[in-house]
């Protein structure tokens, strides 16, 4: 059956999406990160300061993708509001159909709506597919921020 873009719905993430989000994530990570997503959904959906940036893609009633992020206003000494994309995933069965781009575009629309002018994210060095996606949507290495890391023995 051919993919029909008009059947794709991008909507705010809901608690009921949990199992499908974990399933999609597991396709890439080979690990069921239930605790991570349980905490993420709680932070997204239960916060009194929540701004809708975390979204789910649905096709024919099935969750086929998601994007989650946060808006920071003043954290880390940064004077303007910035957004961070914390996770993104598309069901491998639906990869390459523009779903990630649709999720990203709506994320930008929502972030712009609250005054965000800059979006950050982190990507593993070896995740070439994800780096390629972020490059295609306009991300470049940051000239103003440096990601620091400390390994704790």
**Domain total for the chain?**
1
- Are 9 and 61 in contact by the 8 Å Cβ rule? The answer is no
Q: Does residue 153 sit within a domain?
A: no
Which has more pLDDT, 142 or 56? 56
Q: Does residue 59 sit within a domain?
A: yes
Which DSSP category does 37 fall into?
H
State how far the Cα of 76 lies from the Cα of 118, in Å rounded to an integer: 14
Q: Does residue 142 sit within a domain?
A: no
SS3 (DSSP) at 71 = strand
Neighbour order of strands in the sheet with 62-73: 8-12, 55-59, 62-73, 81-90, 118-121
Structural domain boundaries enclosing 92: 5-136
For the CA atoms of 96, 67, 41, 5, what is the dihedral angle to 10 degrees? Answer: -60
Report the mean per-residue pLDDT for the chain.
Answer: 88
The CATH code of the domain that includes 54 is 3.40.630.30
- pLDDT tens column, 3-58: 999 999 999 999 999 999 999 999 999 999 999 999 999 888 876 655 678 999 99
**Strands 118-121 and 81-90, how do they pair?**
parallel
- pLDDT tens column, 8-20: 999 999 999 999 9
What pTM, to 2 d.p., does this model score? 0.87
| Residues near 42 by beta carbon (within 8 Å), at least 6 away in sequence | none
């Amino acid at each position: 059956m051919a993919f029909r873009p008009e059947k794709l719905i991008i909507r705010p993430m809901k608690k009921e999406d949990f199992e499908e989000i974990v399933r999609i994530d597991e396709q890439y990570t080979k690990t069921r990160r239930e605790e991570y997503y349980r905490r993420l959904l709680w932070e997204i959906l239960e916060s009194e300061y929540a701004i809708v940036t975390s979204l789910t893609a649905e096709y024919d009633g099935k969750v086929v993708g998601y994007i989650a992020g946060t808006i920071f206003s003043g954290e880390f000494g940064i004077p303007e509001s910035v957004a961070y994309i914390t996770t993104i995933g598309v069901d491998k069965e639906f990869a390459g159909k523009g779903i990630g781009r649709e999720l990203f575009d709506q994320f930008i629309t929502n972030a712009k709506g609250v005054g965000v002018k800059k979006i950050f994210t982190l990507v593993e060095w070896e995740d070439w597919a994800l780096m390629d996606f972020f490059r295609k949507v306009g991300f470049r290495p940051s000239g103003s921020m440096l990601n620091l890391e400390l390994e704790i023995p």
